[in-house]
């Protein structure tokens, strides 16, 4: 009975509690992305996550930007220059505009979502390179119906940090709906335990979360984890993931401009 009450309380916290007191404009997190090659983790790219204020006529939004860049030694083999952006409400982390522009080994894709929360729709644009069109690009426009609470991948990661995990019992979980490639995909996060790990920014006590994805983008039921610092900032410091092409890790390298 007690555990059922705790799970209900945790769910209420997830639904109601998330006002952003965790990150602010000026925060910058830098990570090293590694990929498992024949059993050895090899550093392949730098990933950075930044938050900055952006003034619009309707008010100030938070511009959340994630960029992935392969290290110089890999550029001749497989050059990656990815940019993910989300423009969100600074308090509720509700997205209004999402952009994803990827350039990976010659492959290019551009995705833009304009969120219309009142009508629960998203105006989507997907652009790819094509020789069949004069502009050199093939544009696909759609209007997608979404459920309330659906976010893009960037705002979901930042939104997760606003949740009051310290009140959650071990085993509690919640599901978030993420719009990716024009499809709503459910991501579940389960609180596994508190764990102290060594990171480049010091020894940190962290919340260990297990990540589950409905459509098997991430493989395995016990192979994808995220560690967030167990403080008011809840910085992601370490992540382990398993995808179709193998498994990898994301390790924090530096964290500046923290709110708390």
Partner 1 sequence: MKKLFIILGLITGALAVVLSVLPTFKIAFIPAALSFIFGLLAFWKSKKESASKHTVQLIFLFSITALSLATYKTIFETNEVGDIEQLEKREEESLENSIEELDEELEDIDIEE
255: left (phi over 0), alpha (psi -120 to 50) or beta: beta
- 15 to 34, contacts with partner 1 by CB under 8 A? 32
Q: How far is CA 231 from CA 44, 53, 142, 196, in A?
A: 29, 23, 41, 12
Closest approach of Cβ 42 to partner 1, in Å?
5
Pick out residues in 89-148 that bind partner 1 (CB under 8 A): 89-90, 96-97, 99, 101, 114
Helix (H) or strand (E) holding 74: helix 72-75
Residue at token pair 């708390």: 260
Closer residue to partner 1, CB minimum distance, 53 or 196:
53
Compute the least distance from the CB of residue 74 to partner 1, in Å: 5
Q: Nearer Cβ to partner 1, position 43 or 164? A: 43
Nearer to partner 1, 101 or 164 (CB): 101
> One symbol per residue from 48 to 87: x for binding partner 1 (CB under 8 A), - otherwise; what is it?
------xxxxxxxx-x-x-x-xxxxxxx-x-x-x-x-x-x
- Judged by CB under 8 A, which stretch of 13-21, 41-49, 128-136, 198-206 contacts partner 1? 41-49
CB 169 within 8 A of CB 10: yes
3-state class of 30 per DSSP? strand
3-state secondary structure (DSSP) of residue 221: coil
Compute the distance between CA of residue 60 and CA of residue 50 in angstroms, rounded to an integer.
Answer: 16
Cβ pair 155, 88 in contact under 8 A: yes
Nearer to partner 1, 79 or 120 (CB): 79
User: Shortest Cβ distance from residue 97 to partner 1 (Å)?
Assistant: 6
Minimum Å gap between C-beta 208 and partner 1 is 26
Choice between 117 and 242, CB closer to partner 1: 117
CB of 123 to partner 1, least distance (A): 9
Instruction: Centre a 10 Å sphere on the Cβ of residue 215 and count the other Cβ atoms it contains.
Output: 9
205 binds partner 1 (CB under 8 A): no
- Residue 52: which H helix or E strand, with range? strand 40-56
Nearer to partner 1, 74 or 225 (CB): 74
What is the spatial distance between Cα 23 and Cα 142, in angstroms, rounded to a whole number? 33
Cβ closer to partner 1: 66 or 209? 66
Three-state DSSP at 19 gives coil
Indicate which single residue of 40, 106, 134, 221 sits in contact with partner 1 (rule: CB under 8 A): 40
Of 36-44, 146-154, 214-222, 226-234, the window that binds partner 1 (rule: CB under 8 A) is 36-44
3-state SS, 89-138, equals CCCCCCEEEEEEEEEECCEEEEEEEEEECCCCEEEEEEEEECCCCCCCEE
Give me the residues that bind partner 1 (CB under 8 A), please: 32, 37-43, 46, 54-61, 63, 65, 67, 69-75, 77, 79, 81, 83, 85, 87, 89-90, 96-97, 99, 101, 114
């Amino acid at each position: 009975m007690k555990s059922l009450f705790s799970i209900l309380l945790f769910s209420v916290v997830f639904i109601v509690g998330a006002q952003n007191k965790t990150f602010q404009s000026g925060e910058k997190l830098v990570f090293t992305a590694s990929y498992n090659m024949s059993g050895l983790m090899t550093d392949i790219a730098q990933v950075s996550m930044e938050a900055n204020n952006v003034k619009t006529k309707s008010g100030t939004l938070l511009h959340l930007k994630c960029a992935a860049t392969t290290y110089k030694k890999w550029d001749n083999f497989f050059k990656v220059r990815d940019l993910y952006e989300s423009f969100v409400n600074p308090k509720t982390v509700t997205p209004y505009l999402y952009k994803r522009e990827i350039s990976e080994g010659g492959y290019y894709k551009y995705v833009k979502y304009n969120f219309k929360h009142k009508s629960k729709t998203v105006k989507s644009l997907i652009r790819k390179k094509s020789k069949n069109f004069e502009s050199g690009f093939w544009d696909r426009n759609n209007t997608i119906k979404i459920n309330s609470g659906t976010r893009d991948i960037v705002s979901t990661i930042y939104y997760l940090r606003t949740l009051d995990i310290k009140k959650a019992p071990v085993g509690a979980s919640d599901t978030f709906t993420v719009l990716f490639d024009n499809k709503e995909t459910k991501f579940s996060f389960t609180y596994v335990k508190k764990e102290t790990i060594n990171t480049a920014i010091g020894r940190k006590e962290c919340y260990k979360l297990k990540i589950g994805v409905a459509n098997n983008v991430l493989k395995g039921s016990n192979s994808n984890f995220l560690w967030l610092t167990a403080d008011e900032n809840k910085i992601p410091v370490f992540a382990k993931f398993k995808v179709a092409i193998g498994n990898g890790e994301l390790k924090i390298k530096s964290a500046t401009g923290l709110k708390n």
